[in-house]
């Protein structure tokens, strides 16, 4: 999950944070990291560019982007298999 945290930090330009500053189950929005809707769009771009994953709906995004752990689980379940 440290790699995913580094990708999130880079994608969102969170220069003041280190991967160890972000808890695996820490909420990403509101009371957690305090991300907003623009950040959510950036996370969608991250999933598409790095993992070739597209979200089906905004409702799906709410559950996927709950925490780093939920993002990692979603990536593992939905990442295209390489041969």
Angle at 19 between CA 52 and CA 69, to 5 degrees: 55
Q: Does domain 2-78 have CATH number 1.20.120.610?
A: no
Q: What is the pTM of this model?
A: 0.91
Long-range contacts of 42-47 (CB under 8 A, 24+ apart): 42/11, 42/12, 43/8, 43/11, 43/12, 43/71, 45/11, 46/7, 46/8, 46/11, 47/71, 47/75
Distance in angstroms (rounded) separating the CA atoms of residues 21 and 47: 21
Summarised one tens digit per residue, pLDDT across range 61-83 is: 999 999 999 999 999 999 877 66
The string of pLDDT tens digits covering residues 10-67 is 999 999 999 999 999 999 998 889 999 999 999 999 999 999 999 988 889 999 999 9
What is the SS3 assignment for 29? strand
């Amino acid at each position: 999950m440290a790699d995913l945290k580094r990708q999130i930090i880079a994608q969102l330009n969170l220069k003041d944070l280190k991967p160890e500053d972000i808890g695996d189950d820490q909420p990403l929005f509101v009371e957690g990291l305090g991300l907003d809707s623009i950040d959510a769009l950036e996370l969608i771009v991250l999933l598409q560019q790095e993992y070739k994953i597209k979200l089906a709906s905004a409702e799906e995004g709410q559950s996927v982007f709950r925490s780093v752990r939920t993002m990692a689980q979603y990536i593992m379940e939905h990442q295209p298999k390489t041969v």
